[in-house]
Amino acid sequence: MKLRIFYDSLCPLCSAEMEHIKALDTDGNIELQDLNQADFERNFPYIDLAYANKILHGERADGTIIKGLDVTYEAWAAVGKERWVALLRCPLVKPAADLGYRFFAKHRYRISYLLTGKQRCESGTCPR
Protein backbone atom coordinates (compact mmCIF):
# COMPACT_ATOMS: atom_id res chain seq x y z
CA MET A 1 0.00 0.00 0.00
CA LYS A 2 1.31 3.42 -0.97
CA LEU A 3 -1.68 5.41 0.26
CA ARG A 4 -4.58 4.84 2.64
CA ILE A 5 -7.49 7.18 1.94
CA PHE A 6 -10.06 8.05 4.59
CA TYR A 7 -13.17 9.04 2.65
CA ASP A 8 -16.86 9.77 3.15
CA SER A 9 -18.88 6.98 1.52
CA LEU A 10 -22.10 8.94 2.06
CA CYS A 11 -20.99 11.53 -0.50
CA PRO A 12 -22.00 10.41 -4.03
CA LEU A 13 -19.13 12.23 -5.78
CA CYS A 14 -16.60 11.09 -3.19
CA SER A 15 -17.69 7.47 -3.54
CA ALA A 16 -17.62 7.69 -7.33
CA GLU A 17 -14.07 9.08 -7.31
CA MET A 18 -12.87 6.37 -4.91
CA GLU A 19 -14.48 3.65 -7.06
CA HIS A 20 -12.79 5.11 -10.15
CA ILE A 21 -9.39 5.22 -8.45
CA LYS A 22 -9.76 1.64 -7.14
CA ALA A 23 -10.75 0.44 -10.61
CA LEU A 24 -7.44 1.84 -11.92
CA ASP A 25 -5.44 0.49 -8.95
CA THR A 26 -4.21 -2.74 -10.54
CA ASP A 27 -1.10 -2.82 -8.32
CA GLY A 28 -2.93 -2.51 -4.98
CA ASN A 29 -1.39 0.87 -4.11
CA ILE A 30 -4.56 2.35 -2.61
CA GLU A 31 -6.40 1.25 0.53
CA LEU A 32 -9.80 2.84 1.13
CA GLN A 33 -11.18 3.37 4.61
CA ASP A 34 -14.73 4.64 5.00
CA LEU A 35 -15.12 7.27 7.70
CA ASN A 36 -18.62 5.92 8.33
CA GLN A 37 -17.61 2.39 9.30
CA ALA A 38 -18.80 1.52 12.80
CA ASP A 39 -15.36 0.85 14.26
CA PHE A 40 -13.47 3.67 12.51
CA GLU A 41 -12.36 5.50 15.66
CA ARG A 42 -11.20 2.26 17.27
CA ASN A 43 -9.25 1.19 14.17
CA PHE A 44 -7.76 4.62 13.45
CA PRO A 45 -7.52 6.49 16.77
CA TYR A 46 -4.88 8.82 15.33
CA ILE A 47 -7.36 10.26 12.80
CA ASP A 48 -9.67 13.00 14.07
CA LEU A 49 -12.96 11.77 12.63
CA ALA A 50 -14.70 15.16 12.79
CA TYR A 51 -11.82 16.85 10.97
CA ALA A 52 -11.50 14.02 8.45
CA ASN A 53 -15.19 14.54 7.65
CA LYS A 54 -14.38 18.15 6.77
CA ILE A 55 -11.13 17.65 4.83
CA LEU A 56 -10.04 14.51 2.98
CA HIS A 57 -7.28 12.67 4.87
CA GLY A 58 -4.74 10.21 3.61
CA GLU A 59 -1.90 8.23 5.13
CA ARG A 60 1.28 7.40 3.25
CA ALA A 61 3.01 4.04 3.73
CA ASP A 62 5.49 5.74 6.09
CA GLY A 63 2.64 6.94 8.36
CA THR A 64 2.70 10.57 7.22
CA ILE A 65 -0.80 12.09 7.23
CA ILE A 66 -1.70 14.29 4.27
CA LYS A 67 -4.88 16.27 3.64
CA GLY A 68 -7.08 17.80 0.97
CA LEU A 69 -5.89 17.96 -2.62
CA ASP A 70 -2.53 16.48 -1.64
CA VAL A 71 -4.44 13.22 -1.04
CA THR A 72 -6.20 13.54 -4.38
CA TYR A 73 -2.93 14.15 -6.21
CA GLU A 74 -1.13 11.26 -4.53
CA ALA A 75 -4.07 8.92 -5.15
CA TRP A 76 -4.10 9.66 -8.86
CA ALA A 77 -0.29 9.45 -8.94
CA ALA A 78 -0.42 6.03 -7.28
CA VAL A 79 -2.51 4.75 -10.19
CA GLY A 80 -0.37 6.45 -12.83
CA LYS A 81 -2.75 9.30 -13.61
CA GLU A 82 -1.09 12.26 -11.86
CA ARG A 83 -1.18 14.29 -15.07
CA TRP A 84 -4.95 14.57 -14.55
CA VAL A 85 -4.46 16.62 -11.38
CA ALA A 86 -0.84 17.85 -11.53
CA LEU A 87 -1.91 21.42 -12.31
CA LEU A 88 -3.68 21.59 -8.93
CA ARG A 89 -0.32 21.29 -7.14
CA CYS A 90 1.58 23.90 -9.20
CA PRO A 91 2.77 26.73 -6.93
CA LEU A 92 0.71 29.43 -8.67
CA VAL A 93 -2.48 27.35 -8.76
CA LYS A 94 -2.21 25.48 -5.44
CA PRO A 95 -3.60 28.25 -3.14
CA ALA A 96 -6.70 28.79 -5.30
CA ALA A 97 -7.20 25.05 -5.83
CA ASP A 98 -6.97 24.43 -2.08
CA LEU A 99 -9.52 27.18 -1.44
CA GLY A 100 -11.83 25.66 -4.04
CA TYR A 101 -11.37 22.24 -2.50
CA ARG A 102 -12.30 23.52 0.97
CA PHE A 103 -15.48 25.03 -0.52
CA PHE A 104 -16.28 21.73 -2.24
CA ALA A 105 -15.60 19.71 0.93
CA LYS A 106 -17.90 21.92 2.98
CA HIS A 107 -20.73 21.71 0.44
CA ARG A 108 -20.04 18.26 -1.03
CA TYR A 109 -23.53 16.87 -0.50
CA ARG A 110 -25.22 19.81 -2.26
CA ILE A 111 -22.64 19.83 -5.05
CA SER A 112 -22.98 16.07 -5.48
CA TYR A 113 -26.72 16.46 -5.83
CA LEU A 114 -26.38 19.27 -8.38
CA LEU A 115 -23.88 17.30 -10.48
CA THR A 116 -25.24 13.77 -10.16
CA GLY A 117 -28.85 14.11 -9.05
CA LYS A 118 -27.98 11.80 -6.14
CA GLN A 119 -28.52 12.92 -2.57
CA ARG A 120 -26.42 11.98 0.42
CA CYS A 121 -26.25 8.20 0.54
CA GLU A 122 -28.04 6.99 3.63
CA SER A 123 -27.29 3.29 3.27
CA GLY A 124 -23.56 3.59 3.92
CA THR A 125 -22.64 3.37 0.25
CA CYS A 126 -24.05 5.00 -2.85
CA PRO A 127 -25.97 2.93 -5.37
CA ARG A 128 -24.17 2.54 -8.69
Question: How many Cβ atoms from other residues are within 10 Å of residue 97's Cβ?
Answer: 19
Give the global pTM. 0.86
Q: In the structure, how many helices (H) and strands (E) does the chain have?
A: 6, 4
Give the long-range contacts of residues 61-68, CB within 8 A, separation 24 or more.
61/1, 61/2, 61/3, 68/98, 68/101, 68/102, 68/105
Per-position pLDDT tens, the chain of length 128: 899 999 999 898 899 899 999 999 999 999 999 999 999 999 999 999 999 999 999 999 999 999 999 999 999 999 999 888 899 899 999 999 999 999 999 999 888 888 877 777 665 555 54
CA nearest to 59, candidates 29, 102, 90, 19: 29
CB-side neighbour CA atoms (13 Å) of 77: 14
